[in-house]
Amino acid sequence: MAPGRFVTLEGGEGAGKTTQVGLLAAALRARGLDVVTTREPGGSVGAEEIRRLLVTGGTGRWSALTEAFLHFAARRDHLERTVWPALARGCWVVSDRFADSTLAYQGYGLGLDRAVIGQLSRLALGDFAPDLTLILDLPPETGLERALARCAADRYESMDLAFHHRLRDGFLEIAQQAPERCAVVNAAGSPQAVAAAILSAVDRQWSRSGGP
């Protein structure tokens, strides 16, 4: 059985992650791969219940530390119920967000000590990490305009612009610190152009083994 792969898409609000998850999954299935798509917070029954706590209510509903605990609780259930079983079956798993979002949102965005996030990550994930992380990058003003045109603002979309600039800076720094795992993709273009750039990044990541 060919090994499963875990690919995550990250980025700020309105970056188009959900659309690109679907397009990447379709492209990989066209190559004959079994693909599972999922999201965070969420992706399992228990994690979806926690998601509702995180994305609704006022911006000050939770402290940054409480949010981080909730995210990692949801993430652990997501891994146990969805991600790890799919990988064990040889599937490719494509996820809309993963642990980098907690580091970016609660760490860079809300100022929680990143060492604390690292401790929580080691406890919940061990040494597990994505095989490839695609960071969809665009100016926060553009992303928020897209997000608010789509639906009413959730808790994170309602946070001030300075938060969203810190968030973008955080994702770019994460990419710089893990270049072997992360690829930054310009998300300002059309969905088709972004999808083509994502597929090229996937192919580059696995070019040594002949690609997916």
Residue 135 has what pLDDT?
Answer: 98
Q: Record the tokens describing residue 29, joined without a space.
A: 């299935």
Return the higher-pLDDT residue of 56 and 37: 37
Q: What residues form DSSP beta bridges with 182?
A: 133
Residue 208 scores a pLDDT above 70 = no
Residue 52 scores a pLDDT above 90 = yes
pTM of this structure: 0.92
Return the higher-pLDDT residue of 140 and 184: 184
Residue 149 scores a pLDDT above 90 = no
Residues 57-90 have pLDDT tens digits of 888 889 999 999 999 999 999 999 999 999 999 9
Superfamily of domain 5-206, CATH level 4: P-loop containing nucleotide triphosphate hydrolases (3.40.50.300)
Residue-averaged pLDDT of the chain: 92
How confident is the model over 135-158, as a mean pLDDT? 80
Residue 102 scores a pLDDT above 60 = yes
Residue 11 scores a pLDDT above 70 = yes
